[in-house]
Amino acid sequence: MDKEFAARRRRDLIIAAVLAGIAALTPLFVKDVVVQNILILTLMYAGLSQSWNILSGYCGQISLGHALYFGLGAYTTELLFTKFGVLPWFGMLAGGVVSALIAMGLGYPFFRLRGHYFVIATIVIAEIGLLLFHNWDWAGAAMGITIPIRGDSWLKFQFLRTKLPYFYFALALCCLAWFVTWWLEDSKWGFWWRAVKDNPDAAESLGVDVFNSKMGAAAVSAFLVAVGGSFYAQFVSYIDPESVMGFQFSLLMALPAVLGGIGTLWGPVLGAAILIPLTELTRFKFGGSGRGVDLIVYGTLIVLISLALPRGLLSLFSRPKKTGAAR
Amino acid sequence: MTALLETRGVWQRFGGLVANSDVSISVGRGEIVGLIGPNGAGKSTLFNLIAGVLPPTQGSILFDGEDVTQMPAAQRCQRGVGRTFQVVKSFETMTVIDNVIVGALVRNTVMREARRKAHEVLEFTGLAARADVLASDLVPAEKRRLEVARALATEPKLLLLDEVLTGLTPTEAQTGVALVRKVRDTGITVLMVEHVMEIVMPLVDRAIVLDLGKVLVEGKPADVVRDPKVIKAYLGDRHAVGA
């Protein structure tokens, strides 16, 4: 039985490596900038959703306020860069740390809430964050921050003539988030998180530190999402409160995981691979005149999938359940 | 040798309701003690106080020579208190083995060792064949068994069993009894709350009867069942006279 389990873990790792390898080669064949753009966003959201999945999928603390950490990552990086000349790479790290600390600070009061009350709190907090940035003059308020263009440079992580560096960074982020999940899945934290999700009282009775489990999950999740936010800010080179902290980011992190299979290793990647191209393509095809069409399409899709496969698309692939004889 | 568990003058009030009043009991090492009493006697409350779900309003609880009155449940588990729940609380989306690994992680920080320990416990409790099944797919008797397995994986000194034998068929209950004996034979002290007298009484070394939140009688099971006070508590005044 142990061997079977170890083999499955190895198999996951090999599949991931192969997929990452294939993904890394796609720019050789895909020269179209629009398609490259969609690929970059898909990889980014896969990584973000994978990070969201750590807190909300594994640990069961459903957050619809992760846009806050995404925005904090973006703002920390760009404020440090434009005001103090700190390179985005350090800003990225700083953004991650700031977000992780804020996630734990918020967790301190809010992890006492259970179920729906927690979800509502996350939405409200993210909205408050959005309002604060709207009114914070030093951070550009509603005008936002335009990232000064200094020419293509890895050091400053900005590229005008090619999207490839962004593509590879998004791929790296996605791989990192996946690998962190894979690694934590078979660790004390992974088991603690799933126990906390399924039954906090029973977890407590088995020596699980429920509160700190949630804090740990929140910190890891917020850190990775903030790195994604930093990346996005560099990628679009202009940020304002709505464009990095709007509620739609919270949704776009949650939906791929929910669609693919919440609390699973492969769910977020699978969900993002379907949802993001679909969103981007419909948006591209129907342009400004049909702004609602993409929303209608994936709204319908999610309703259908949640009706047919409540455990996500991934449940299509799950092995037939073993039912050994009862003793 | 000192008792493994001792409660000293424990009171628990919920608003105007007194669930436990001045309860002082002790459980010696290696004993199987039954905590019995009619519905509403305060058994479950006392049980939760010992497990650390909430601190008592008044009084103190000593475990293994240490005052644990204010200690939360998770820390008590680390000290060696294992428990099951009356209403089973399996980790439903996890497999049987994963459920048990959660318990095993208390004393094994390396995953491979925790997994090995969990397999050992499943073997011991007779759930080995069901290791890879989701907990939600178990039948009720197996779920009860999983509760015990999970608690055993924490390597407790004291195992608190909350009605693990209730609601089982006679055959299932008999295998349950055998399991409890086997647990005790490994040196674990057992305190069990139970309703089904005819199953518990032959099993326990000592019985403590609670009624209306107080300790009514305690002693050898054979003596306890004949005690007029116990019969009165369970069946009413009329029956006590004839006893």
d(CA A75, CA A85): 14
**Contact yes or no for A186 and B90 at CB 8 A:** no
Whether A12 contacts chain B with CB within 8 A: no
Query: A202 and B90 in contact (C-beta within 8 Å)?
Result: yes
Shared domain check, B139 and B43: no
Domain of B6?
1-80+156-243
Shared domain check, B132 and B111: yes
d(CA A76, CA A91): 6
Shared domain check, B32 and B147: no
Write the CB contacts of B10 (distance below 8 Å, at least 6 apart in sequence): B20, B22, B23, B24, B46, B49, B56, B58, B59, B60, B61
Q: What's the pLDDT score for residue A233? A: 94
Residues of chain B whose pLDDT is less than 70?
A: 1, 238-243
Residues of chain A with C-beta less than 8 angstroms from the C-beta of B72? 204
Spans of all domains in chain A: 2-316
Determine the residue type at B70.
Answer: Q
DSSP H or E stretch at residue A228: helix A210-236
Given B105, B125, B155, the domain boundary residue is: B155
Give the residue from chain B lying closest to A208, CA to CA. Answer: B74
Residue A209, strand partner residues: none
Shared domain check, B138 and B151: yes
In 3D space, the residue among B187, B181, B179 whose CA is nearest the CA of residue B158 turns out to be: B187
- For A2-316, CATH gives 1.10.3470
Shared domain check, B186 and B69: yes
Residues of chain B with C-beta less than 8 angstroms from the C-beta of A263? 93
pTM for this model (two decimals): 0.90
**Chain centre distance of CA B12:** 19
Q: How many CB pairs under 8 A join A and B?
A: 101
Segment 243-282 of chain A within 8 Å of chain B by CB = 263
Whether A137 contacts chain B with CB within 8 A: no
Give the residue from chain B lying closest to A2, CA to CA. Answer: B115
Q: What's the pLDDT score for residue B198? A: 81
* Tokens, residue A201: 């009282």
Whether A195 contacts chain B with CB within 8 A: yes
Given B155, B171, B196, the domain boundary residue is: B155
Given B122, B155, B188, the domain boundary residue is: B155
Whether A182 contacts chain B with CB within 8 A: no
Shared domain check, B14 and B113: no
* Tokens, residue B188: 């674990």
Q: What's the pLDDT score for residue B41? A: 87
- ipTM metric: 0.90
Give the pairing type, strands B32-36 and B206-211: parallel
Q: What is the mean pLDDT of each run of 10 residues along chain A (327 residues)?
A: 82 94 91 90 96 95 95 95 91 96 95 90 95 91 85 82 90 97 95 96 94 96 97 93 91 91 93 88 68 71 79 72 41
Shared domain check, B182 and B137: no
**Contact yes or no for B94 and A198 at CB 8 A:** yes
User: In this structure, what are the phi and psi dihedrals at residue A34, rounded to the nearest 5 degrees?
Assistant: -60, -45
Among candidates B89, B133, B151 on the partner chain, residue whose Cβ is nearest the Cβ of A323 = B133
Shared domain check, B92 and B14: no
Query: B205 and B195 in contact (C-beta within 8 Å)?
Result: no
Give the pairing type, strands A238-239 and B189-193: unpaired
**What is the total count of domains within chain B?**
2
Q: Hunting for tokens 């290696």 — which residue is that?
A: B30
Shared domain check, B71 and B163: yes
Whether A204 contacts chain B with CB within 8 A: yes
Chain B closest-CA separation from residue A325 CA (Å): 7
**Contact yes or no for B133 and A210 at CB 8 A:** no
Whether A318 contacts chain B with CB within 8 A: no
Shared domain check, B170 and B222: yes
Chain B closest-CA separation from residue A236 CA (Å): 40
Give the residue from chain A lying closest to B87, CA to CA. Answer: A202
Chain A closest-CA separation from residue B182 CA (Å): 17
Write the CB contacts of B176 (distance below 8 Å, at least 6 apart in sequence): B141, B144, B145, B164, B165, B168
Residues of chain B with C-beta less than 8 angstroms from the C-beta of A208? 74, 102
Shared domain check, B99 and B30: no
**Contact yes or no for B72 and A204 at CB 8 A:** yes
Among candidates A263, A321, A325 on the partner chain, residue whose Cβ is nearest the Cβ of B129 = A325
Shared domain check, B54 and B9: yes
